[in-house]
């Protein structure tokens, strides 16, 4: 039964070029994609709004189609920028205890750490919560305005590449969770006041997430630079590497590599490799560094609470125990999972994947691929504890009555989070699928 015509074809003729029709209806050539996770070469089917093209081998979503992608992304980006401006301009949080209190702005959660001799942690907080999200939103808005006007901005390809690399490091949603955890920790000790910035930042975090999900990268790259023809002799239904091909992780275009398995994308200029160079070695090195830092991150105090001149240092586990004693079981569970189980589990999972990757035919690749996706997704959420420290250090300042200072474990733990995220990015999941297919091997052995 033939598929119904794509709905964008019924749009008015005066609609912007980027929205008149999807890429597949503006090209008579097959548009090929090589899966980023299993290297399976496939042809993209025609897609309706809200549909996605999924790899038939590993289930990875290659392309997600959105209706009115330029207008949607532009509206969300501008709304997010507006809420971010309000979040920075107004008071964020306040507290008072025994007639003494303090009010802070959002930026103080980073700047106050510098006064406590934690400039690296302060820069990380500022970048992940404010600077990088703002740059991302400005870039998205600039690109979409240019496309809607029919004149893509100069340097549009480089900008789009940069936006792709920025996305994993934006953590406004994690910071919001850290704020809620901080409020629960001090709610029983002092009166807490939520400023206008708190509500604006909550809206900003939601709109930022919606903006990243709304960007139709396949459509965006096609509108910016079209799509060169597929390399001659490309055969779908097979892996790309044996054919001397690879898919660009940034724009998705299938390119032919040179004899050494290297090259550059014809469309976006990204360096390409049949497999990431020294993927396992680099992943092992990053995991080893993270494992070393994981010890001081849990042994040393992550923050010190000073009450009436008496210092009470708290490790990560000590803070969890304190929350349990206060009766805050849900918050204690969140911190336990995010700050203890996730980093340790990610170290173990990536180490196991590195061990079994050279023996791809011995274990089931789909299960290991799902494990890789999980480790890649959850890694950033371990930053919750760092954000809790940043918020409490800025907020709890009541002279000798009460104060919070960052501990030496803050930098070590933040480094563990960053190193494990880099390890997940360095690991090449296509190594999981290299070698004979496990199911077909089993079938052959059974037949024999």
pLDDT at 440: 40
Residue 99 in this model has a pLDDT that exceeds 80: no
**Does residue 111 fall inside a structural domain?**
no
Tell me which residue range forms the domain holding 254.
7-65+227-266
Average pLDDT value for residue range 2-22:
42
Distance between CA 16 and CA 97 in Å, rounded? 58
pLDDT at 125: 94
Q: Are 128 and 379 in contact (CB under 8 A)?
A: no
pLDDT at 243: 92
| Residue 202: other Cβ atoms inside 10 A | 18
Domain count, the chain: 3
Q: Are 47 and 63 in contact (CB under 8 A)?
A: yes
∠ CA 32-34-36, rounded to 5°: 145
Q: What is the pTM of this model?
A: 0.86
Beta bridge partners of 405: 304
pLDDT at 14: 44
Whether 12 and 150 share a structural domain: no
- Give SS3 for 137: helix
Average pLDDT value for residue range 398-404:
70
**Does residue 221 fall inside a structural domain?**
no
Residue 19 in this model has a pLDDT that exceeds 60: no
- How far from the centroid of its chain's Cα atoms is residue 421's Cα? 9
**Does residue 446 fall inside a structural domain?**
no
Per-residue pLDDT of 227-280, as tens digits, reads: 888 888 889 989 999 999 999 999 889 999 988 888 999 988 899 999 999 999
Total residues found in the chain within this entry: 448
- Give SS3 for 60: coil
Whether 38 and 167 share a structural domain: no
pLDDT at 348: 93
Average pLDDT value for residue range 28-54:
85
Tokens of 228: 């060169």
pLDDT at 439: 40
Whether 208 and 242 share a structural domain: no
Written as one string, the DSSP assignment of 314-374 is E-HHHHHHHHHHTT-HHHHHHHHIIIIIHHHHHHHHHHHHHHHGGGTTTS-HHHHHHHHHH
pLDDT grade, residue 116 (50/70/90)? confident
Containing H/E element for 187?
A: helix 172-187
Higher pLDDT, 22 or 71: 71
pLDDT at 5: 35
What percent of the chain clears pLDDT 90, i.e. is strictly above it? 43
pLDDT grade, residue 26 (50/70/90)? low
pLDDT grade, residue 226 (50/70/90)? confident
Per-residue pLDDT of 422-446, as tens digits, reads: 999 999 999 988 865 444 433 333 3
**310-314/41-43 β-pairing:** unpaired
Whether 76 and 55 share a structural domain: no
Per-residue pLDDT of 299-351, as tens digits, reads: 999 888 777 667 778 888 887 887 787 677 777 887 888 888 888 999 999 99
Distance between CA 261 and CA 256 in Å, rounded? 9
Q: b/e map of 360-383 (b: 16 or more CB within 10 Å)? A: beeeebeebbebbbebbebbbbbb
Cα torsion angle, 385, 388, 390, 396, sign = negative
Whether 74 and 194 share a structural domain: yes
Whether 381 and 283 share a structural domain: yes
**Does residue 201 fall inside a structural domain?**
yes
Per-residue pLDDT of 78-93, as tens digits, reads: 999 999 999 999 999 9
Whether 283 and 417 share a structural domain: yes
**Does residue 220 fall inside a structural domain?**
no
Whether 61 and 73 share a structural domain: no
**Does residue 273 fall inside a structural domain?**
no
Report CA Rg, the chain. Answer: 25
pLDDT grade, residue 139 (50/70/90)? very high
Highest mean pLDDT among 22-36, 44-58, 279-293: 279-293
Whether 237 and 314 share a structural domain: no
Residue 362 in this model has a pLDDT that exceeds 80: no
pLDDT at 322: 76
Whether 54 and 130 share a structural domain: no
Residue 50 in this model has a pLDDT that exceeds 90: no
pLDDT at 12: 38
432 closest CA partner among 366, 375, 347: 366
Whether 129 and 52 share a structural domain: no
**Does residue 103 fall inside a structural domain?**
no
Higher pLDDT, 65 or 197: 197
Average pLDDT value for residue range 35-60:
88
Written as one string, the DSSP assignment of 370-407 is HHHHHHHHHGGGGGHHHHHHHHHHHH-B-TTSEEEEE-
Whether 248 and 128 share a structural domain: no
- What does each C-alpha distance from 289 to 134, 283, 347 come to in angstroms? 31, 10, 11
Picking from 4-18, 178-192, 407-421, 432-446, which range would have the lowest pLDDT averaged per residue? 4-18
């Amino acid at each position: 039964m033939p598929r119904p015509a794509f709905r964008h074809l019924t749009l008015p003729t005066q609609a912007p070029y980027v929205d008149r029709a999807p890429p597949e209806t503006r090209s008579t050539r097959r548009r090929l994609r090589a899966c980023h996770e299993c290297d399976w070469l496939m042809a993209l089917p025609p897609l309706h709004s809200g549909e996605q093209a999924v790899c038939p081998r590993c289930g990875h979503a290659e392309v997600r189609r959105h209706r009115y992608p330029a207008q949607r992304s532009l509206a969300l980006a501008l709304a997010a920028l507006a809420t971010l401006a309000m979040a920075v301009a107004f008071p964020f949080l306040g507290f008072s205890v025994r007639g003494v209190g303090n009010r802070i702005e959002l930026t103080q959660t980073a700047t106050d750490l510098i006064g406590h001799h934690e400039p690296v942690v302060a820069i990380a907080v500022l970048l992940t919560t404010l600077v990088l999200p703002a740059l991302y939103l400005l870039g998205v808005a600039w690109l979409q305005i240019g496309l809607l006007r029919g004149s893509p901005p100069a340097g549009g390809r480089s900008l789009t590449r940069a936006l792709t690399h920025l996305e994993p490091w934006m953590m406004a949603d994690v910071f919001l969770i850290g704020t809620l955890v901080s409020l629960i920790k001090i709610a029983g000790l002092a009166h807490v006041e939520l400023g206008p910035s708190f509500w604006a930042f909550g809206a900003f975090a939601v709109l930022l997430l919606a903006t990243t999900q709304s960007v139709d990268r396949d459509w965006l790259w096609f509108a910016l630079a079209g799509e060169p023809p597929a390399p001659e002799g490309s055969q779908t239904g097979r892996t790309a590497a044996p054919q001397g091909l690879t898919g660009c992780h940034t724009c998705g275009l299938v390119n032919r590599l040179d004899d050494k398995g290297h090259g550059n994308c014809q469309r976006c200029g990204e360096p390409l490799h049949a497999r990431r160079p020294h993927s396992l070695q680099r992943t092992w090195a990053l995991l080893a560094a993270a494992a070393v830092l994981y010890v001081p991150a849990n042994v040393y105090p992550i923050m010190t609470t000073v009450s009436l001149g008496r210092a009470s240092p708290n490790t990560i586990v000590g803070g969890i125990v304190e929350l349990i004693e206060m009766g805050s079981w849900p918050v204690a569970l969140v911190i336990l999972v995010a700050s203890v189980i996730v980093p340790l589990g990610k170290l173990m999972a990536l180490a196991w994947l590195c061990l079994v990757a050279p023996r791809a035919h011995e274990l089931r690749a789909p299960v290991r691929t799902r494990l890789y996706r999980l480790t890649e997704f959850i890694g950033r959420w371990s930053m919750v504890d760092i954000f809790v420290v940043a918020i409490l250090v800025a907020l709890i300042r009541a002279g000798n009555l009460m104060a919070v200072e960052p501990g030496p474990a803050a930098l070590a733990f933040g480094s563990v989070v960053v190193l494990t995220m880099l390890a997940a990015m360095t690991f090449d999941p296509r190594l999981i699928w290299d070698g004979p297919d496990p199911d077909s091997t089993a079938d052959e052995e059974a037949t024999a």
